[in-house]
Structure 1
Amino acid sequence: MDAPSDRMAAVLLGTLIALTIIGSSAVAVAIPVVRDEFGLTVSDAAWIFSVFSLCFAVATATFGRLADRVGLRRPLVVGIGLMATGSVIVGVAPSFPVLITGRVVQGIGAGAVPVLVNAIVAQRWTGPDRAEVFGALLAVVAVVSGSGPVIGGAIEALLGWRWVFALPAAGVLLIVPIAGLAPSDRRPGRFDVAGAVATATVVAGLLALLQAPTAGAQIGVAGGGLLLVGVPATALLIRARPDGFLPRRVIGNPQLMVPAVAAFALLASYFAMLLAAPELLAATRGWSPLQIGAALLPAALAGAVASRIAGRLGPRLGRFRTAAIAASVTLACVAVAAFAPTQVVAIVIAMAGASVGFGASQAVLVDHVTIAAPVDIRGAALGVFNLITFVGGSVGPAIIGGLSGITGLPTAIAAVVVGPLAAVVLLRRTPEAAPALSTR
């Protein structure tokens, strides 16, 4: 089979990423129905998001490292297969434990997609063309993620909640055309299982600790224990295995870590608002999921447009500078919702600002990582970038969920503002390295 054209390749890759996003953004509107069917508490239902986010985050780095060893094609096919399998398990789950098992498998498979798609783009395109493709992909991400409540609400209304969770299984239809885009070059080396386990322990501990205010003291103690074990173990493994799961050349390189931390903060803000905005609109206006989704569509469009513009501006204006501007927009707009949480316009502005910050910054920061990372660790660098970024996607909602029950939703939103503020400071204080680093 002939390889698809560049335009068609970008469409296929964007569609695949969109299916993974639906696994997190579209399911929110179906949660109340799931709670009723299985008799769950709010804390129980939170794990539907948490286990997916945890597995997604760790899988990004895992598949990135595997791609460095066995090429992109095999990990991508395995990841899509796992995502589809998990989606089907959730779709037919007769009980809550089976549903959670499906979400674990779904999250692991979905986590393979962003890092491997980014690596395909990095190898297939160069220069301004690559920046534009990244911008196009992030436009798809912004639109699908922002309109997730509409997609989920429509599917739930027509077919039921199980189909909302099962939709990512359609990814299997893309395996054949996309596999042809993915190189299968092998490199010598071994996969660092211990490093992956230690990293997963740290992420699990962090999520448990953040959810402790609503999930209970036992969860908090468990989270603290995981961190006490995982953090020292991870640090020791980075020191003992410089080329392990978290390579020292990646962790110790500010040109790779500053973009990751900034992306973490901005995705945390975006996912926090993706949770908070529907909650505010439902509580203050009594709107249905479809009404809420329609109100948030302008925010999705703003993120899509911003990602395309940033993809073009980044190489000329500077990628860090472009991302800092996007983070400033998020900072200002999210603050509006914290101070005017009952106003529809304020809520939509906050969602739009968070969408702009996420879409625009990702378009340029991912491109920067592909330039700054040496070729032999590019897959690992993208994996670590996505690991840190998508941990932010679980931390943001955890902050909203953990604080809103204690301080109220407006104060919880105000706490989220710290993230984009830190991103602005980091990006403005760190000089952007020359693109020549990619050829080292």
Structure 2
Amino acid sequence: MTGSTTAETAAAAPSSPRTRWWGLVAISLGVALIIVDSTIVNVAIPSIIEDLGITSSDAQWVQETYTLVFAALLLVAGRTGDRLGRRRVFLAGTTVFVLASLAAATAASGPALIAARLLQGVGGAMILPTSLSLINANFRGADRARAFAVWGSTIGGTAALGPLLGGWLTSHLSWRWAFGINLPLGALVAAGVFLLVEESRDPRAERGVDLLGAALSVIGFTGIVFALIEGRTYGWWHLQRPFSVLGAQLDGDPSPVPVALAVGLLALAAFAAVELRRNHRGRTALLDLRLFTIPSFRNGNVVAGVVSLGEFGILFSLPLWFQNVLGYTAFEAGLALLPLAVGSFTASGLSAVLAPRIGTVNLVMAGITCEIIGVAGIGLVLSPDGSGWQVGPFLLVYGIGVGWATAQITGVALTDVPVARSGQGAGIQSTTRQVGSALGIALLGTVLFTALGADLSRALQDHGTPPARAEALTARVRTSAGTAIQPLLHEPATRQAGELARESFTTATSLAAYTAAGALTLGLGAAVRLKRKLALQA
């Protein structure tokens, strides 16, 4: 299947190659902004709680609102870009994101900050899928593969840079600069994309709007992502802590998690039925099911989802280990993760040379293999008396894998998607990645804290701590996500419990790393099947 009609290709491609590559820089910087914003806030939360006087529940929503809205709107934003113009939607998203960042930087209360984070999620959802579709529309052949490599390494590298940047800004300036830095950078992105990237859209997409499909998809993805992210916090069935939002509070069973999951699954089932009917009748549909008849797109999305599950889950557990077990500051934890970013950006440059020589899917497989080696190696070398230097080489190998696998699988999935439908294809792939990442965080978070609780309770009782006291100390460490460990170490009466907690947290983090390696192994198997199917197609 070819990428587009001749007219569409001519309309989309800039006249100057230099202009096209500088436009890619602007697009990649926009992607960097929204990816960094998903991790930069984590290290600033303690300062935000102290400055605004918000509750732990409010702090949770400051972190998660962005992710929820971001994931829920990706599919709608991608299709909107096809209809109204990808550059136009990208620029609108950048404007929303910058204004929301200004609101977050000047927020005087928890609710105001949460509302600003919600708007940031709206802007981010408009940027990510349209960035992919703009690359798909403006690059061809080998240049497209190189452009996707830059896009993919931007995601992998900046995800690791977020804690470093957030830690430095919070420590040396203020948590407000974690949001304020988006203003000048966002203006630079908007100017660059406006001047250097030409518009493209689907000329056949003006026949109607699938409002019902859009509503059902947003409800469905919101419910599912909420359940995956918050299951550990609020309980998968029984409510483990009070749930409050917009002034309403839930104190009894069941937890909101199974309710949200059920609503999300039902909404997505209804969404699938609506889209099947609209596709069958030839009406405008949010989800063009013809895309799934393209083998590279269908199988590439399977690989992307499974790999995302293993890739970004480790970024949840490892910063906690650096800070709570080794006692690193937020900035030092960010520095310890820097090899990941170095590896990812280095791999981006190498992929431009390697992909034409060994093949794109082979490079994806090599990248996933590096990720497996890196993550499994991290699990092997973790020690409560270790250091970031021991983990660094494996983070570097892992980062190289991210730079190859994440970038190249994007190119594989979208290479045969018609340019006219590239926004929709990009929205589907971005949604697949987000749901995979949310599932990975949920899975590894559950493994981490379940193993921590079981190991620490047993260790405390083995050292003579009464069962009731052991359970109380275990709950203190587990519910604080490990932040109680350092205070325990500094009190003579609880120093032994703190040392045991360090050992148990290390054991649990290693187990989470091995779980991530297992998920990535499944992704490698999916990539092998993708290679076979593409070979049969050829």
TM-score by structure 2 length? 0.74
SS of the aligned residue for 2:41 comes to helix
2:440 aligns to what? 396
Instruction: Tell me how far apart the structure 2 counterparts of residues 357 and 42 of structure 1 sit (CA, whole Å).
Output: 36
2:512 is the counterpart of 1:412? yes
Deviation at 1:384, TM superposition (A): 0.6
2:521 aligns to what? 421
Deviation at 1:322, TM superposition (A): 1.6
CA contact (8 A) 2:366 2:404 kept: no
2:482 aligns to what? none
1:205 aligns to what? 223
CA contact (8 A) 2:339 2:399 kept: no
CA contact (8 A) 2:160 2:340 kept: yes
Instruction: Tell me how far apart the structure 1 counterparts of residues 199 and 165 of structure 2 sit (CA, whole Å).
Output: 33
The aligned amino acid for 1:244 is A
2:194 aligns to what? 179
State which of 62, 83, 103 in structure 2 corresponds to 1:48: 62
Instruction: Tell me how far apart the structure 1 counterparts of residues 80 and 265 of structure 2 sit (CA, whole Å).
Output: 27
Instruction: Tell me how far apart the structure 1 counterparts of residues 295 and 114 of structure 2 sit (CA, whole Å).
Output: 37
Deviation at 1:52, TM superposition (A): 1.4
CA contact (8 A) 1:208 1:219 kept: no
Q: What does residue range 21-40 of structure 1 map to in structure 2 within 5 Å? A: 21-39=35-53
Instruction: Tell me how far apart the structure 2 counterparts of residues 353 and 43 of structure 1 sit (CA, whole Å).
Output: 37
CA contact (8 A) 1:277 1:351 kept: no
Structure 2 residues without counterparts, runs of 5 or longer: 1-14, 240-254, 453-507
Cα distance per residue 1:19-71 (max 9 Å; x no partner) = 12221122221122223334556565333332212222233322211122122
CA contact (8 A) 2:157 2:399 kept: no
The aligned amino acid for 1:371 is T
- What is the count of residue pairs matched by the alignment? 435
2:284 is the counterpart of 1:247? no
2:153 aligns to what? 139
CA contact (8 A) 1:53 1:393 kept: no
The aligned amino acid for 1:168 is N
1:361 aligns to what? 405
Instruction: Tell me how far apart the structure 1 counterparts of residues 30 and 187 of structure 2 sit (CA, whole Å).
Output: 9
2:186 is the counterpart of 1:160? no
The aligned amino acid for 1:271 is F
Instruction: Answer 1 or 2: which has greater helix percent.
Output: 1
2:429 aligns to what? 385
State which of 185, 207, 227 in structure 2 corresponds to 1:189: 207
CA contact (8 A) 1:310 1:361 kept: no
Percent identical: 24
Structure 1 residues without counterparts, runs of 5 or longer: none
2:103 is the counterpart of 1:89? yes
Q: Which stretch shifts more, 419-428 or 197-206?
A: 197-206
State which of 337, 345, 368 in structure 2 corresponds to 1:327: 368
Instruction: Tell me how far apart the structure 1 counterparts of residues 378 and 129 of structure 2 sit (CA, whole Å).
Output: 32
Cα distance per residue 1:103-126 (max 9 Å; x no partner) = 111011112223222222222221
TM-score by structure 1 length? 0.89
The aligned amino acid for 1:153 is G
Instruction: Tell me how far apart the structure 1 counterparts of residues 333 and 323 of structure 2 sit (CA, whole Å).
Output: 8
CA contact (8 A) 1:43 1:214 kept: no
Which structure has the larger Rg over C-alpha atoms? 2
Instruction: Tell me how far apart the structure 2 counterparts of residues 209 and 94 of structure 1 sit (CA, whole Å).
Output: 29
CA RMSD, Structure 1 to Structure 2 (Å)? 2.6
Relative distance call for 1:432 and 1:221 in structure 2 (3 A) is: closer
Instruction: Tell me how far apart the structure 2 counterparts of residues 191 and 288 of structure 1 sit (CA, whole Å).
Output: 50
Instruction: Tell me how far apart the structure 2 counterparts of residues 261 and 338 of structure 1 sit (CA, whole Å).
Output: 26
Deviation at 1:79, TM superposition (A): 0.8
Relative distance call for 1:362 and 1:198 in structure 2 (3 A) is: same
Instruction: Tell me how far apart the structure 2 counterparts of residues 224 and 118 of structure 1 sit (CA, whole Å).
Output: 29
